[in-house]
Amino acid sequence: MPKPDRICVGAIAGSFGVKGELRLKSFCTMPEDIAAYGPLYSEDGARSFTVRLTRAVTGGLGARLSGVATKEEADALKGVTLWADRDRLPSLPDDEFYHSDLIGLEVFDTGGAALGKVRAVQNFGAGDILEIYAPGRRTTLMLPFTRTVVPTVDLKAGRIVADPPEEAE
């Protein structure tokens, strides 16, 4: 059976209170939208949850998840990522991408030379960065995911064209 097409929309940051309430980190543009894409699944798909937001809390959203009734059950879920079926998510404009769609794409420079494959999309607070792995390189290549450095993303062709700054190469 093929693996369902899902996108990571958030993570459980820990318990909140003593009655099974959780703190969620939402990866959605509008954080509250995480509750609209349910049911949400654990990464392996073994568990599914309906989400009911309860309040804003420091560092995220307070929520109740179906099947979680105690602080101990909530504590046990800390770090679990939450995944929504792609067809429940909104379509994105042409210049926006789900991170999971970028991972694995081949990256070429503007002259057509292969730079490697996208291993991950990082964000250390100053915008998204593509982490590119290339066989034979001692370190991964980190490129800012901006229109200047990455002028072309072609999901259908499975490739990215990048114009890395001189110091990155």
Per-residue pLDDT reduced to its tens digit, 89-110: 888 877 788 888 898 999 999 9
Write down the CATH number for the domain with range 6-88. 2.40.30.60
pTM for the whole structure: 0.72
pLDDT in tens, 12-62: 999 988 889 999 999 888 889 999 998 999 999 999 999 999 998 888 899
**Tokens for 113?**
């030379």
Taking the C-alpha atoms of 35, 104, 121 and 88 in order, what is their torsion angle to the nearest 10 degrees? -10
> 22 and 16 in contact (C-beta within 8 Å)?
yes
Taking the domains of the chain in order of start, what are their residue ranges?
6-88, 99-164
Q: Regarding the domain with residue range 99-164, which homologous superfamily does it belong to in the CATH classification? A: PRC-barrel domain (2.30.30.240)
Alpha-carbon distance values, 126 to 115, 123, 145 (Å): 23, 7, 10
User: In the prediction, which pLDDT does 130 show?
Assistant: 93
Buried b (16+ CB within 10 A) or exposed e, 7-42: bebbbbbebbeeebbbbbbbbbeebeebbebbbbbe
